[in-house]
Amino acid sequence: MTLPGRRLGLLLAGVVLLAPSCGGGTPSSDELARSVTEARDRVDAALEDVTRADTKDEFLERMDGAADLIGSAARHVEDAGAPSGYETEADELVAALDQLAFDVRATADQVRQPGFGYLLRGTRGLSFESWDRVNLALVALRRKGIEVTPLERH
């Protein structure tokens, strides 16, 4: 897929995440499972896309896009709501996704600062505590019966 095609795919994924859930009222555990799985899959795809950059500028652009998409995924889960008994885990996932979006953007912004480009030299991957928090939230939801897998390492 070409770079514009990937960007279009990420944009469309974001639109899907922003689509309101149907039905209103308190969501079922199945509806929560769908929103969590969609969010997880979109975040994972965005993080994987970052690793496919060929230049520093493309890498930073993809980090910005990933941060936007991760933030949209957090809003998607938040807007979908959670049924009784799942609120704490869903809230933790939203908070962790928001923090991951912040961390990804802040890292890109830091690398752009004069004198900080060295942060990418020899780097084989980026690690964020918030990534761990997202996975802990996903594991907590899984323990409650929501079939979702953790984010992959890219």
Q: pLDDT tens digits for 136-145? A: 999 999 999 9
| Highest mean pLDDT pick, 21-30, 80-89, 116-125 | 80-89
* Any domain includes 106: yes
The candidate with the shortest Cα–Cα distance to 126, out of 105, 144, 95, is 105
How many domains does the chain divide into? Answer: 1
Q: What is the extent of the structural domain holding 69?
A: 28-143
Residue 8 lies in a domain: no
Is it the case that residue 35 has pLDDT exceeding 70? Answer: yes
Q: What are phi and psi of 52, to 5 degrees?
A: -95, 5
Q: Does a structural domain hold residue 98?
A: yes
pLDDT (mean) for 31-53? 95
CA torsion, ordered 65, 70, 71, 76, to nearest 10 deg: 130
- Percent of the chain topping pLDDT 70: 77
* Cα(152)–Cα(154) distance, integer angstroms: 6
Poorest-pLDDT segment among 52-61, 114-123, 145-154: 114-123
Find the mean pLDDT for residues 63-71. 97
How far apart CA 84 and CA 7 sit, in angstroms, is 37
pLDDT of 9 strictly over 90: no
68-109 pLDDT, tens digit per residue, is 999 999 999 999 999 999 999 999 999 999 999 999 999 999
What would the mean pLDDT of 119-146 be, rounded to a whole number? 82
Q: Would 18 be classed as within a structural domain? A: no
Contact between residue 84 and residue 125 where contact means Cβ atoms under 8 Å apart: no
Judge whether 19 lies within some domain.
no
20 lies in a domain?
no
In a domain, 1, yes or no: no
**Residue 153 within any structural domain of the chain:** no
The whole-model pTM stands at: 0.79
